[in-house]
Chain A
Amino acid sequence: MGAARLQAGGEMKIMPKQIGFLWSASACIGLLSFLTPPPAAAQSLIDGYWNPLLNQDAYPYAGGPDPGDFSGLPITEAARKIAQQYDPDEQTMPELQCRPFPATYGPRALSTMRVWETLDPQTQEQTKIETWISFAAQHRVIWMPASHHPPPAPSEPNSWQGYSTAKWVGNVLWVHTDHLKEAFLQRTDGLPLDDKTTMDERIFRYGDILVDIMMISDPQYLSQPFVYSKLYYHIPQGNMDPYPCSAHNQVPTPQGHVPMHLPFYTVTYNEAFMKKGIPLEAARGGEQTMFPEYQDYLKTLPPNPSFEQIDAEQQKQLAEQSAIMQDKVR
């Protein structure tokens, strides 16, 4: 338009009219930025696509931990007893193949995560932050105070992702989650979590690194909160594949068969962690295994026995238990 006007001999304009208007408008914005109060809202610090960093704890969360290795986990005796009956073949049961991940586990699993926010169109306040984790298609909603979203009614069933509320304290997102279904602490070692489990998180970032400190509390199966810091890094042009899941009878088994171990017979699942040199006793876990002084105790432990010795000892225990049961029946 401006160039055309010059050619037509009209009033000389250095800049086209529209650009001039934009320049004035931007100048007004510049002026307003000095004169007006701050906006009521700002961009969330954690939006975008995030990939898990694989430099720590990838071993228990990629393929799953070695069955029977609970070292460093503050589990109770009740949790240990349940996990000792767990058989990883359980994962092949059609009923469990597409089982979702709970909010207490999903962020620790190795999968891309997308985070996005929803703003109130009137106030520009955050009403919710949502996360989608690719593997197992985990969709979680974190309600912000501005949403005034009520907690689930007592009649509502607990869910895999639970009910999460959050607030910003400075640049740290404080999240609390409850109303969770009974689930698992780690995926392939059978450690349970009760449906009274709660989780508190502190989420923040340093540049392109996102830190999610998860504090999982379960008085039934954890002797103290399980504090776990998960690291992600930002992917500027992230994307995500769909996660279709359909159950197949991968390993033909009789209908109704549930793979499990007898609680006294743990030989088969000792093998993997024993090959890494982890002492049998340390693998039993418990909060004492988390602290530095356990290093002094480790060096007093005898070498692990051979598989044959363990097998013979556990067969003996089984026979004794069987005899006790038979006596009770008589």
Chain B
Amino acid sequence: MNFRSVLSTITLAGVLAAQAPPPAQPPGLPDTGQKAALMDLTGSWVSVVNQDWRFRMMTPPKGDYAQVPLNAAARNIADAFNPALYGGAGYQTSQIIDCRAYGAAAVMHMPTRLHITWASPDTLKIETDWGQQTRLFHFTPGRPYGNIEQALRSGELGTSHGPASMQGYSAAAWEQPYRYNASAFQRGPVPGRGGGLGQSQINVDQPGGDLAVVTTGLAPGWLRRNGVPYSSRTRVLEHYQTFEDPTGKHWFDVTTEVIDPEYLTTPFVTSADFQKEPDGLKWAPHACKQVEK
């Protein structure tokens, strides 16, 4: 084997390394969702509603579905909303809220307090006081890290996990930083820069990262309190990121992408911000209304 052949082999190995999927998790790394957590989401949180106030804090007027990319079928459903079932003339502020507005595609956008705990080493539980919902984020045992979007595209996620429900089935993974720039030609940590870790370093502990969640198996629900629908074919992709404000208060931001081939012409993408509270003293359960369909 001459020198050129050696070089060629190494080159090929380098290229293959760049194209190969991330290596299996090396032994010794955290193997549960709880141990592997890239951020602490547990505790008491309150939503801070300073965007879309009139769509979130109140029931918008019947037929007001501004900003939601609905198709004609969905608009017909939204137009059938019946204010009489939700307080009549005062329905916008009556706070009689249909439980369908608290489905997984919309619940994080609703004004509510959250109580977040680890229900098991691989299950993160989110409870809401308004609407009294419970969400369970399931990490894959032994594989707490991953690329949720890639798994969704490859069909690894999205399979049925029982009958459809308002909160559906949520698969979760911690997404480590730098994965967008991972390549064989950027190896090792790059301090103080916006990217650049190679495949060989993809499981090395670095600051940043996020929690990604994909929810499927949903029963039909509402994107807004005034009957703007989403279908049972909906998939919800969420990303969670924590941060601190200049006064030292802790927050998390959740970006929610609702993909519904039945009622939405494009994905519906929103975000919501939650502020951490020292305790659960302001927890105030409010039941939602099961209105006859």
Q: Mark B36-52, 1 if CB is under 8 A from A, else 0.
A: 00000000001111111
CB distance from A129 to the nearest CB of B (A): 9
Contact in complex: B94, A299 (CB < 8 Å)? yes
Contacts of A301 in B (CB 8 A): 93
Query: A145 vs B193: C-alpha distance in the bound complex, in angstroms?
Result: 10
In the bound complex, residues from chain A placing their C-beta under 8 Å from that of B251 are 227
Min CB distance, A80 to chain B, in Å? 15
Q: Mark A16-42, 1 if CB is under 8 A from B, else 0.
A: 000000011011111101100111111
Query: Beyond A33-B185, A42-B181, A290-B49, is A126–B193 a contact (Cβ under 8 Å)?
Result: yes
Query: Quick check: is A95 within 8 A (CB to CB) of the other chain?
Result: no
> B273–A227 contact, CB under 8 A?
yes
- In chain B, positions 177-196 with a C-beta closer than 8 Å to chain A are 177-178, 180-181, 184-190, 192-196
Cross-interface CB contact of A57 among B12, B52, B58, B196, cutoff 8 Å: B52
B66 at the interface (CB under 8 A from A): yes
Contact string against B for A residues 60-104, beta-carbon threshold 8 Å, 1 for contact and 0 otherwise? 000000000001111000000000000000000000000000000
Among A26, A39, A200, A291, point to the contact of B48 (Cβ < 8 A). A291
Q: Are B253 and A211 in contact (CB under 8 A)?
A: yes
In the complex, whether A54 has a CB less than 8 A from a CB of chain B is yes
Segment at the interface with B among A1-9, A132-140, A241-249, A274-282:
A274-282
Interface residues on A, range: 35 or more
Interface check A44, CB cutoff 8 A: yes
Interface-side segment among A162-170, A262-270, A318-326: A162-170
B111 in the interface, Cβ–Cβ < 8 Å?
A: yes
**A207, CB-defined interface residue at 8 Å:** yes
Q: What is the CA–CA distance of A152 and B188 in the complex, to the nearest angstrom?
A: 36
Asked whether, in the complex, the Cβ of A211 is within 8 Å of the Cβ of B241, the reply is yes
Query: Chain B residues with Cβ under 8 A from A293's Cβ?
Result: 282, 284
Q: B11, B46, B69, B270: which contacts A31 (Cβ < 8 A)?
A: B11
Are B50 and A228 touching (Cβ within 8 A)? yes
Chain B residue at smallest Cβ distance from A297:
B93
- The reply to whether A276 and B54 contact each other, CB–CB distance below 8 Å, is yes
Q: Is A161 an interface residue, CB under 8 A from the partner?
A: no
CB distance from A53 to the nearest CB of B (A): 5
CB B234 to nearest CB in A, in angstroms, measures 15
From B198, B247, B255, give the contact of A231 (CB < 8 A): B255
- Beta-carbon contact of B269 and A72 below 8 Å: no
How many B residues touch the partner, as a band?
Answer: 35 or more
> Which A residues from 217 to 263 make CB contacts under 8 A with B?
217, 224-229, 231, 233
Q: Is the beta-carbon distance between B194 and A215 smaller than 8 angstroms?
A: no
Chain B CB count within 10 A is highest, among A28, A55, A225, for A55
Task: Judge whether A290 and B50 touch: CB under 8 Å.
Answer: yes
Q: Is the CB of A215 within 8 A of B246?
A: yes
Quick check: is B219 within 8 A (CB to CB) of the other chain? Answer: no
CA distance A38 to B235 in the complex (A): 39
Total contacts A to B, CB within 8 angstroms? Answer: 233
B246 x A200 contact (CB < 8 A): yes
Could you tell me the distance in whole angstroms from the C-beta of A89 to the nearest C-beta in chain B? Answer: 24
A295 to B58, CA, bound (A): 7
Alpha-carbon distance between A56 and B254 when the two chains are bound, in angstroms: 13
Choose one: B7, B53, B246, B270; the contact of A217 (CB below 8 Å): B246
Binary contact track A139-155/B, C-beta < 8 Å → 1, others 0: 00000010000000000
Shortest beta-carbon distance from B162 to chain A in Å: 28
Query: Given the complex, which residues of A lie within 8 Å of B54, measured CB to CB?
Result: 59, 71, 276-278
Interface: A157 (CB within 8 A): no
Say whether B157 faces chain A, with CB atoms less than 8 Å apart.
Answer: no
Find out whether the CB atom of B207 lies under 8 angstroms from the CB atom of A291.
no
B154-181 vs A, CB cutoff 8 Å, 1 = contact: the mask equals 0000000000000000000000011011
Please give, as numbers and ranges, the residues of chain B lying within 8 Å of A43 by CB-CB distance: 181, 194-196
Partner of B130, one of A44, A173, A295: A295
- Among residues of A, the one whose C-beta sits closest to the C-beta of B209 is A170
For residue B74, CB closer than 8 A to chain A, the reply is no
Most buried by A among B7, B8, B112, B187: B7
Q: Mark each residue of chain A from 103 to 128: 1 if its CB lies under 8 Å from any CB of chain B, else 0.
A: 00000000000000000000001100
**A271-330: which have CB < 8 Å to B?**
276-279, 282, 289-296, 298-299, 301, 303
Closest-by-CB residue of A relative to B5 is A27
Complex contact B58–A277 (CB within 8 A): yes
Q: Which residues of B contact A56 (CB under 8 A)?
A: 51-52, 67, 269-271
Q: Tell me how far the C-beta of A221 lies from the nearest C-beta in chain B, rounded to whole angstroms.
A: 15
Report whether A215 and B93 are in contact in the complex, using a CB–CB cutoff of 8 Å: no
Complexed CA–CA distance, A215 and B250 (Å): 12
List, sorted by A's number, 5 A–B pairs whose CB atoms are closer than 8 Å: A45-B194, A170-B177, A217-B247, A226-B50, A290-B48
Which 8 residue pairs across A and B have the least CB separation, nearest first?
A170-B208, A42-B196, A27-B7, A30-B11, A72-B53, A38-B188, A170-B207, A30-B14
